[in-house]
Every structure is written in C-alpha cells, then in structure tokens.
Amino acid sequence: MESGEWAKVKVCLTEFMKGAAEMASELGKGCRDIVKQSVINQDSYINMKFGKDSYVGKRVRGPCHKLCNKFSVFNHYLPEDKDPLHACFVIFFVSLFSFAVLYVNFEHDQPITSPPLKQVFLHPPSADRVLLPDGRYMAYRERGVSADKARFSIIVPHAFLSSRLAGIPGVKDSLLEEFGIHLLTYDLPGFGESDPHPKRNLKSSATDMSFLADALRVNKFWVVGYSSGSLHAWAALRYIPVRLAGAAMFAPMVNPYDPIMTREERRRTWSKWTRKRQIMYFLARRCPRFLAFFYRRSFLSGKHGQIDRWLSLSLGKRDKALMEDPVYEEFWQRDVEESIRQGNVKPFVEEAALQVSNWGFGLSDLKLQKIKRSRNVLTWLKSMLIEAPDEYSGFLGPIHIWQGMDDKVVPPSMTDFVHRKLPGAAVHKLPYEGHFTYIYFCDECHRQIFTTILGAPQGPLSISLEVDHTNVEAKIEQ
C-alpha cells in the first residue's frame, strides 16, 4: 500500500473512532437521563419508599446526622471537599486490607526452599518456685555462688519471648565463681513456670522482684535489663531503689510513644524498624487484642520459626551470622520452648502492651535531683537550730548502658534519648555491634561487663568461724 493511500485510511479510522466515542458518550447521557426520570424523580418508587420524605428516610435521617456530627472532628484533618463519613469507610477498608496483607505475610513467611520446621517440645517442669504473698508461684533459677557466699547478687528479668533460662546468655559458671556472683533469673508472670498475674503492670513487676529477693535472702542486688527486659529494670529503679546496688542495661527499650521524645528522636527510632514491626507497635498501643491472632500463628503455633520473622526484626550482618550459629539456635529454641510452655497468649499481649503504654513514671523521675524544702516559719526555725542534710530523689546508684551502634531492634537513638534524660548514666557505645552479638556467648564481653560494674575479681566470700580456744581446751581437759 502506497503512502498516500495509507494516510487516507488512517484519517478514516481516526474519524470513525471519534464518531464512535461521541455516540457512546451520548448513549451514556441518555441512559443517565432515563434513570433520573424513571428512578430518582419525585414520583419514582425508590424515592417514595427510601427518599428524604419517606418513612424510612425520616427514621434514618436522625441517626445519620448524629453519626456525621461525631465524625466531624476529622474535618480538621481532611481536605475541604472530603466527607468525613466517606473517609472513615475508606480507613476501615484500608485497615481490613492491611490485616489481610499481614495474614498472608505470616502465613507464607517461610520460603519454599527452607528446611522443615521443628516441632516445639514440651519439657517436664524443672524450676524451683517460691510462693508470693498473693498466692502466686514464681519460678526462678540460681547460678554462680550461693547467696551466703556471694560478693555481688545480680537479678535479671528476661525479655519478650524468653524465660528464666536466658539470664546472661552463655555466661560461664567459672566466671561467676571468679567474681563471686550470685546470678538470679526468674520467669515473668504467665511465662515459663510462673503463675499469671490478673492485673500486671510495671509496679507489680518491681514488687515481685523485691519479694523474690526477700525469699532467697538477697539484700542489695544489681539489676540487669536487656532489650525489652529493661522495662522491668526501669521499674525496679523507680519503685524499689533502696534494694538496688546499681543497674546494667543492654540496648534498653523505652516507650517509642513517649511524649517527651523529640520529633527527630522519634523519626530516627521508627525509621530503623520494618513496616510490619511498626504495625505491631501500633496494634499493641491501640488494639492489643488483635495481637493474639498473629501470636497464635507464629511462636504459639507449635512449630519453631526464625526469630527475626516471628518478631518482625530487621537485623544487621553480625546478628544474622550469630543466629545461624547452631549453638545459638539450640539455646534460643530451648528458651522459646520454656517461655511458651503454658500456651497462653495473654501474657505476651500484656508484655507487648506494657512496652508502648503509660508506665506510670518517666525517665526524668529516675534522675538524681535535690528535693526542694517547703518554705515556712517552722522549717526556718529548724534550720536555725539544726543543720538538716540535703534530701535527694531518684536513683542514687550507678547506671551503665551498653549500646550496639549497628542495632536495628533497639536503635541507638533510644539510648541517646535515655542519656538526654539521665545524663549521669555511663553509656558504652559499641561500634559494629548489633542487638545480640555483645551479650550472647561472648566470654570476653562478659568479663568486661563484670569488671566495669563490679571491679577486679576477688572470688566468693570466705566464711571463717571464730572458735573460743579457752572453752575448747577446758572441754578437752574434762
């Protein structure tokens, strides 16, 4: 076909398409007019039965008006041409779609080429337990030297999806003996072999820790908080400071919704987390009951999975390499089995909600500060006669914090926030270290930690019995 003929055909096709489009447009307008005239007009059946002046319309108009007034608060956050009722329906369907996506992710997280999952094994009970004043039993574990020979006592509340078996992971008994340490770990309420608490909060957690120390004849002790377990260490610093000799924190978790966080600190924290982890924190704060669905499909499903996928963690290279170590994998699986042995989802939902809810105190309350005395005549007369010593509030002992700079589970921005509110805390920044690598199965790291907080190793206390030689000689003569 010559070029001239092809141009004529092209023009004809273009004109035909334009004509067809115009005819389709007119047909649509005609159909619209027919619908308006026959269905939506004043005399139509639909308008008579469901219109504004109908019985149904009058009954529905009042509740709809009240509902629109309730949603009118969203007008400040929506463009002027948006209806708040319409926006709420959109938000509802988007949320429904998000839950569907999360369900698919949890259902198909394991790749096809991954090895078969191991079944969770239920071990027989093996923990020592103490009876608390409210009738609950608390399971605990003791390592190192006995309490009567210990130079130092250390209590370690465990983190999320962990148990009393964790403590300081991989620490050797010979090192505890060298420093004279009595290491005490316990199961949080509902975890491991500890009975659940009906109304658990951070204050009750500190009280349980104090009761456990009393039952085992421990007076002063160091508290060690790792990751989310640091919540209970913060609670001990707030509610039982007189029992503590000091605190050691490793990647300490704080409330990511804390109102005193600056916008930059909040941005640097949330940007390190995966989208799935962000949604989990949002659910824990707004709708904690929804977490039960995801927990039952992950670590409460009866099969072992990967911790980073279960907890939606983003890990660095060194953390990933550690997780592939068979020694760590065996330790972690045994710890998880002990943590979920009761099969109850409620303690895990409570623990997740505690992380992002109102603690009942702030980090500023732990700061050492002088108490201002009331100014009145009686106080002035007392100061003239007796020089009263200054009184202080907050925690008087040392606080040490170790933070891996490549930690993506508890970002370094959280430790920066803690140091801003507690400038007296000693912060040890660890280049190239992640969330697990410094505290898990590192003998040299454990020695550095104990040397930093306890000083040079001196061994356990030697108990010497004083003997009255005069009475002994007299008895021998008799």
The pLDDT tens digits for 43-65 are 666 666 666 666 666 666 677 77
Q: Find the mean pLDDT for residues 80-85.
A: 52
Q: Alpha-carbon distance 281 to 291, whole Å?
A: 10
Q: Find the mean pLDDT for residues 405-417.
A: 94
Contact 202, 235 (CB under 8 A): yes
Q: How many CB atoms lie within 10 A of CB 62?
A: 9
Contact 189, 347 (CB under 8 A): yes
Which residue in 401, 404, 254, 402 sits closest to 316, CA to CA? 404
Which residue in 66, 71, 104, 105 sits closest to 85, CA to CA? 71
Q: Find the mean pLDDT for residues 442-470.
A: 81
**Following DSSP, what letter does each residue of 57-82 receive, concatenated?**
HHHHHHHHHHHHHHGGGGGGGS-TT-
Stronger pLDDT, 192 or 108, i.e. the higher one: 192
Which pLDDT belongs to residue 6?
62
Which residue in 358, 345, 229 sits closest to 291, CA to CA? 345
Which residue in 167, 155, 144, 160 sits closest to 223, CA to CA? 155
pLDDT band at 372 (very low <50, low <70, confident <90, very high): low
Q: Find the mean pLDDT for residues 154-182.
A: 96
Task: Please determine, for residue 42, whether its predicted confidence score (pLDDT) is greater than 80.
Answer: no
Which pLDDT belongs to residue 267?
93
- At residue 357, what are phi and psi to the nearest 5 degrees? -100, 180
Which pLDDT belongs to residue 103?
57
β-pair partners for 247 = 223, 399
Amino acid at 339: S
Token pair listed for 462 = 């030697």
Lowest mean pLDDT among 19-23, 134-138, 161-165: 19-23
Q: Find the mean pLDDT for residues 432-440.
A: 93
Stronger pLDDT, 44 or 421, i.e. the higher one: 421
Q: Find the mean pLDDT for residues 121-131.
A: 91
Region(s) of the chain under CATH 3.40.50.1820: 123-371+391-459
**Following DSSP, what letter does each residue of 106-129 receive, concatenated?**
HHS-S-TTSPPPPBPP-PPP--EE
Which pLDDT belongs to residue 113?
45
**Torsion-angle region of 361 (φ positive above 0: left; ψ -120 to 50: alpha; else: beta):** beta
pLDDT band at 111 (very low <50, low <70, confident <90, very high): very low
**Considering the entire predicted model, what is its pTM?**
0.73
pLDDT band at 381 (very low <50, low <70, confident <90, very high): low
pLDDT band at 472 (very low <50, low <70, confident <90, very high): very low
Which residue in 232, 250, 218, 211 sits closest to 145, CA to CA? 218
Q: Alpha-carbon distance 249 to 152, whole Å?
A: 17
Which pLDDT belongs to residue 41?
62
pLDDT band at 165 (very low <50, low <70, confident <90, very high): very high
Task: Please determine, for residue 406, whether its predicted confidence score (pLDDT) is greater than 80.
Answer: yes
Any idea which architecture 123-371+391-459 has in CATH? 3-Layer(aba) Sandwich (3.40)
Which pLDDT belongs to residue 468?
47
User: pLDDT by residue (tens digit) across 247-296?
Assistant: 999 999 999 999 999 999 999 999 999 888 898 999 999 999 889 988 99
Token pair listed for 218 = 């421990």
Contact 400, 455 (CB under 8 A): no
Q: Find the mean pLDDT for residues 23-52.
A: 66
pLDDT band at 324 (very low <50, low <70, confident <90, very high): confident
Which pLDDT belongs to residue 285?
93
